C-alpha cells in the first residue's frame, strides 16, 4: 500500500509550520490512509456513496462485489452488469447510468492513470469532472486516495470546514482563508486533511457559543445569588447565578471555603442555595451535551473580559500560550497582565483557562491545581 505515511518529513513539516497542526499530530499519532486505490474502483465507490448513509453504501458495495464475482471492480465488470444488474445491487437508476457511461469511457482509454498523473492538480480535477456524477469534491478525493496527490485541501468538505473553523476561530471560511491554509500546510495539504478529518469527527455537529457580558448591578433589582453543588466528570463544582444569569463556576474542595469566596465576591448580595435552570444548562454543557449559546454575566475589568473572550475561542483539545492570548487581545507584550486575567477567570471549564499554558509547554498555574489542569487537558484529548 502506497501511503502518505509514515513519511516523517511530511509530518515534521506540518508540525513545524503550525502549532495547532502539531497538537493534532500529537493527539492522533500517525494516521495511515490508502492513497493508491484503483482509480475506477474508487470512482464507483464514490458515486455509490453519494447522498446515502455510510452503512447503506457499504452494503451496496458488498452486493456489487458479489455480483462481479468477488474480484476487482473494473470497467468491464460494470459494463457486463449494465443498468439492470446494477439496479439489482441496490444502485439507483441515475447512478447506474453514470457508472455504465464511466465504464465505457475507461474502457475506451480516456482516463489512463499515467496521463492523469502528468496533469497539474487543477488539470486532473477538471479532467475527472468530465465524468458524469463527478463534482469537484469527488475529483479531489480521487486525487488524494487514488492518484496519491500530496497537496489537496478540499474547500467543499464539510468536516474539513468544521475543523478549520473550530481550530482557528473563523466563523465563515472564505476562498481567501482556504488559499491561506493551503499555503500554510503546503506542499502537504493532503496529509493535513487526514488530521482535520480526524479532529472534525470528534466535534459535535452543532456547537454553542459562550457569550461574556458585563454584570451590571444597576440593572438588577434582585440582589440574590443562587448557588448549587454538582458532581461532574471532572469533580465537584459550585455554580452561582444572579437574576441575569451565571456568574461563577468553580471546583470545590471545601464547601465552606467556596461559600466564603462567594460571599466575599458578592458582598452586597444575599446567598440562597437553589438550583436554577441556568445551573442545569451549565451542568449539561460541562458533561458534554449540546446546549446552544450560553451567556455569562461576569464581574471584571474591560481588559479581563477581553482576555476571557479570547480564551473561550480556544477549541477543546487544543492548548495555546499566554503569548498567543496576548497577541489576540492586541497587547502583545502584556504577558503578565494576561496571566493575571486568566487567573482571575470566575467561570471554570466554560471559559477554558486550563487550555492556556506557558510557551515552553509547561502547564503554569491553575486555580484548582496543576493536577486538575492536566486531567482536564487529558480528558479533552481522549474524547
Q: What is the CA radius of gyration of the chain?
A: 27
- Rounded-to-integer distance, Cα 163 and Cα 23, Å: 13
Contacts of 334 (CB under 8 A, 6+ apart): 326
Long-range contact list for 7-11, CB < 8 A, 24+ apart? Answer: 10/150, 10/188, 10/191, 11/191
Question: What is the helix (H) or strand (E) element at residue 76, kind and residue range?
Answer: helix 75-88
Cβ distance 17 to 51 under 8 Å?
Answer: no
Cα separation values, 209 from 34, 62, 243, 304, 345, Å: 37, 42, 21, 19, 17
Cα separation values, 18 from 27, 223, 303, Å: 14, 48, 28
- Please tell me which residue in 247, 269, 278, 353 is annotated as part of the active site: 353
Catalytic residue at 353? yes
Cell of 363: 502547564
Catalytic residue positions, numbered: 353
Amino acid at each position: 500500500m502506497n501511503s502518505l505515511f509514515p513519511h516523517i518529513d511530511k509530518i515534521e513539516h506540518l508540525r513545524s509550520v503550525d502549532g495547532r497542526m502539531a497538537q493534532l499530530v500529537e493527539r492522533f499519532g500517525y494516521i495511515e490512509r490508502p492513497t493508491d486505490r484503483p482509480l475506477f474502483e474508487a470512482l464507483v465507490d464514490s458515486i455509490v456513496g453519494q447522498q446515502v448513509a455510510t452503512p447503506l453504501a457499504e452494503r451496496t458495495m458488498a452486493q456489487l462485489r458479489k455480483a462481479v464475482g468477488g474480484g476487482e471492480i473494473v470497467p468491464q465488470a460494470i459494463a457486463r452488469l449494465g443498468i439492470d444488474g446494477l439496479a439489482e445491487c441496490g444502485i439507483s437508476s441515475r447512478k447506474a447510468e453514470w457508472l455504465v457511461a464511466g465504464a465505457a469511457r475507461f474502457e475506451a482509454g480516456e482516463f489512463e492513470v499515467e496521463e492523469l498523473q502528468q496533469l497539474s492538480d487543477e488539470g486532473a480535477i477538471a479532467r475527472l469532472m468530465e465524468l458524469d456524477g463527478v463534482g469537484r469534491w469527488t475529483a479531489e478525493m480521487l486525487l488524494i486516495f487514488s492518484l496519491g496527490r500530496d497537496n489537496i485541501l478540499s474547500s467543499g468538505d464539510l468536516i474539513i470546514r468544521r475543523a478549520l473553523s473550530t481550530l482557528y476561530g473563523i466563523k465563515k471560511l472564505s476562498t481567501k482563508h482556504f488559499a491561506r491554509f493551503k499555503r500554510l500546510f503546503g506542499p502537504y495539504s493532503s496529509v493535513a486533511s487526514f488530521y482535520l478529518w480526524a479532529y472534525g469527527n470528534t466535534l459535535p455537529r452543532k456547537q454553542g457559543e459562550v457569550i461574556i457580558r458585563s454584570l451590571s448591578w444597576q440593572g438588577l433589582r434582585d440582589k440574590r445569588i443562587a448557588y448549587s453543588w454538582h458532581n461532574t466528570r471532572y469533580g465537584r463544582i459550585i455554580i452561582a447565578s444572579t437574576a441575569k444569569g451565571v456568574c461563577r463556576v468553580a471546583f470545590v474542595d471545601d464547601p465552606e471555603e467556596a461559600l466564603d469566596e462567594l460571599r466575599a465576591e458578592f458582598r452586597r448580595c444575599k446567598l440562597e442555595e437553589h438550583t436554577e435552570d441556568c445551573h442545569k444548562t451549565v451542568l449539561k454543557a460541562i458533561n458534554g451535551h449540546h446546549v446552544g449559546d450560553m451567556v455569562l454575566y461576569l464581574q471584571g475589568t474591560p481588559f479581563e473580559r477581553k482576555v476571557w473572550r479570547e480564551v473561550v475561542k480556544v477549541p477543546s483539545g487544543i492548548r495555546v500560550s499566554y503569548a498567543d492570548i496576548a497577541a489576540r487581545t492586541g497587547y502583545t507584550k502584556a504577558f503578565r497582565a494576561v496571566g493575571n486575567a486568566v487567573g482571575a477567570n470566575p467561570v471554570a471549564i466554560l471559559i477554558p483557562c486550563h487550555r492556556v499554558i506557558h510557551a515552553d509547554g509547561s502547564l503554569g498555574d491553575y486555580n484548582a491545581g496543576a493536577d486538575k489542569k492536566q486531567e482536564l487537558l487529558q480528558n479533552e484529548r481522549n474524547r
